[in-house]
Homo-oligomer: A and B are copies of this chain.
Amino acid sequence: MTVRQRAAWWWHRQVVAPAATLLFGIVLLAGCAGLPATDPLPSWNEGATKAAIVRLVTETTRTGGPDYVPPAERIATFDNDGTLWTEHPMYVEVLFTAARIRELAASNPAWRTEQPFKAVIDNDREAMAKLSESDFFKLIAATHAGQTSAQFQKAAADWLAEAKNPRFNKLHTELTYQPMLEVLAYLRANGYKTFIVSGGTVEFIRSFAEKAYGIPPEQVIGTSFDAKYAFAGDVAAVTAEPKLMLLDDGPGKAIGIDHFIGRVPIAAFGNSDGDIAMLQTTTNSPTSKQRPRFAAFVWHTDAVREYAYDRDTTVGRLNQGLDVAPKLGWYLIDMKKDWKVIFPYELKP
Contacts and interface: CB of A to CB of B under 8 A. Distances in A.
A214 B141 CA distance: 37
Contacts of A219: 218
A236 B72 contact: no
A262 B218 CA distance: 6
Interface stretch (A105-113, A163-171, A279-287, A339-347): A279-287
A185 interface: no
A299 B277 CA distance: 45
Contacts of A75: 218
A226 to B, nearest CB: 8
Number of copies of this chain that the complex holds? 2
B238 A254 contact: yes
B234 A254 contact: no
Given A150-B286, A228-B251, A259 B235 contact: no
A217 B261 contact: yes
Interface in A248-302: 251-252, 254-255, 258-263, 277, 280-281, 284-287
Nearest to A214: B72
Contact of A149 (B150, B193, B234, B258): B258
Contacts of A260: 218, 260
Residue in A227, A251, A252, A258 whose Cβ sees the most chain B Cβ within 10 Å: A258
B280 A231 contact: yes
A206 B328 CA distance: 29
A255 B236 contact: no
Given A229-B254, A286-B150, A224 B277 contact: no
B218 A285 contact: no
A259 to B, nearest CB: 5
Contact of A262 (B72, B217, B328): B217
Contact of A245 (B237, B245, B328): B245
Nearest to A327: B234
Nearest to A227: B255
A158 interface: no
A210 B277 contact: no
A143 to B, nearest CB: 17
5 contacts: A149-B258, A150-B287, A218-B263, A237-B286, A245-B246
